[in-house]
């Protein structure tokens, strides 16, 4: 592998991770959606670059799926939902931004600590790619629990899935069907979340998921 190929792949992987951090401090809903779309686009670029350098054309399909669905279709859908529900604005994080970012840095450190010793003997690109991917995958759920807003939870879910795909494109021989099925499941999940938005909005006039706790029925003990 040439130095250029390595550098570009490394750059793109790091960019995906950086965008995850951008999501963590983002308070505006529309910007968060844009950031996750950018993350998906970067992921598509990473996949395409792997397809070129490794000469494995099926990764172009992965890149296309990421670009069409996750960088375009789902964000557009979410923007439409926000307009439709008229909920654009800012979302207050549960923890302070500093704490959230600190947790993100800790998770990234943990991911590197975990992945690098396991993958000793593999190529440097694969090892760092996997560490980035694990960090992105773990920051997704962190985002989901650090915000009360349901739209941000979808964004966190998509970001988590981006991390999975990033791991998949870094590993040789991962069949396309895995990526296709993951992408499909994200589509389904987005639709379910969409229906769910309408319902909680209709009932509570808010997308704050903490309102749902009132629906848990009678408490015991």
Partner 1 sequence: MSGVDQWALIGVAQTTLLALAVGGCLTNRRPVLIVPLYALAGLACLITLIAALGALLTAAPDAASRLVLPVGLPDIRSHLRLDGLSALLLVIVNTGGVAACVFGIGYDAHAAQPARVLAPFPLFLAGMNLVPLADDAFTFLVGWELMSLASWLLVLADHEHADNRRAGLVYLSMAAFGALALLMAFGALAGASGSYTFDAMRAATPSPRIAALAALALVLGAGSKAGLAPLHVWLPLAHPAAPSHVSALMSGAMTKVALYALMRGLLELTGTPQWWWGGILAVIGGLTAALGALQSLTQNDTKTLLAYSTIENIGVITAALGLAIAFKASGQRLEAGLALTAALFHALNHALFKPLLFLGAGAVLHGTGTRALDRLGGLIHRLRWTTPLVLIGCLAIAAVPPLNGFASEWLVFQSVLDATSLAHWEMKFATPVVGALLALAAALAAASFVRFFGIAFLGRPRDAAAADASEVAPSMLAAMAGLATLCLAFGALPGVPLDPLMRVAATMVDATGAMDRLLLGQGEGRTAWLAVAPHGDVTAVYAGLIAALGLAALTGLTVGLVSLASGSRPRRGPAWDCGFPDPRPQTQYTAASMAQPLRRIFGSVALAARDRVDMPAAGDTRPATFTSTLRDPAWRYVFDPLTGLVGRAADRLNALQFLAIRVYLSLMFAALIGLLAIVAIVR
Q: Name the residues that contact partner 1, by CB under 8 A.
A: 94, 107, 110, 113-114, 117, 138, 141-142, 144-145, 148, 209-210, 212-213, 216, 219-221
When the beta carbons of 41 and 91 are compared against partner 1, the nearer one is 91
CB of 144 to partner 1, least distance (A): 6
Q: Which two tokens stand for residue 142?
A: 């962190």
Q: Which two tokens stand for residue 157?
A: 């879910």
Backbone angles phi, psi at 57, to 5 degrees: -65, -25
**Rounded Cα distance, 58 and 48, in Å:** 9
> Which residues does 34 contact at the CB level (< 8 Å), separation at least 6?
75
Of 215, 148, 164, 153, whose CA–CA distance to 189 is shortest?
153
When the beta carbons of 195 and 220 are compared against partner 1, the nearer one is 220
CB of 209 to partner 1, least distance (A): 6
When the beta carbons of 5 and 110 are compared against partner 1, the nearer one is 110
CB of 163 to partner 1, least distance (A): 13
CB of 41 to partner 1, least distance (A): 27
């Amino acid at each position: 592998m040439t130095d250029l190929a390595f550098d570009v792949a490394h750059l793109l992987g790091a960019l995906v991770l950086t965008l995850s951090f951008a999501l963590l401090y983002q308070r505006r809903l529309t910007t968060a959606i844009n950031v996750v779309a950018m993350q998906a686009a970067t992921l598509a670029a990473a996949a395409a670059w792997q397809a070129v350098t490794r000469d494995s054309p099926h990764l172009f399909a992965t890149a296309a799926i990421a670009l069409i669905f996750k960088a375009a279709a789902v964000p557009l859908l979410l923007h439409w939902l926000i307009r439709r529900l008229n909920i654009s604005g800012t979302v207050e994080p549960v923890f302070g931004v500093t704490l959230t970012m600190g947790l993100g840095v800790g998770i990234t450190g943990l991911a590197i600590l975990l992945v690098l010793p396991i993958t000793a003997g593999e190529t440097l690109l694969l090892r760092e790619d996997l560490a980035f991917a694990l960090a992105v995958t773990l920051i997704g759920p962190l985002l989901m629990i650090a915000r009360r807003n349901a739209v941000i939870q979808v964004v966190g879910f998509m970001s988590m899935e981006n991390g999975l795909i990033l791991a998949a494109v870094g590993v040789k021989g991962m069949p396309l069907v895995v990526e296709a099925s993951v992408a499909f499941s994200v589509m389904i999940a987005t639709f379910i979340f969409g229906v769910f938005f309408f319902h909680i909005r209709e009932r509570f006039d808010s997308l704050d998921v903490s309102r749902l706790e009132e629906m848990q029925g009678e408490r015991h003990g």
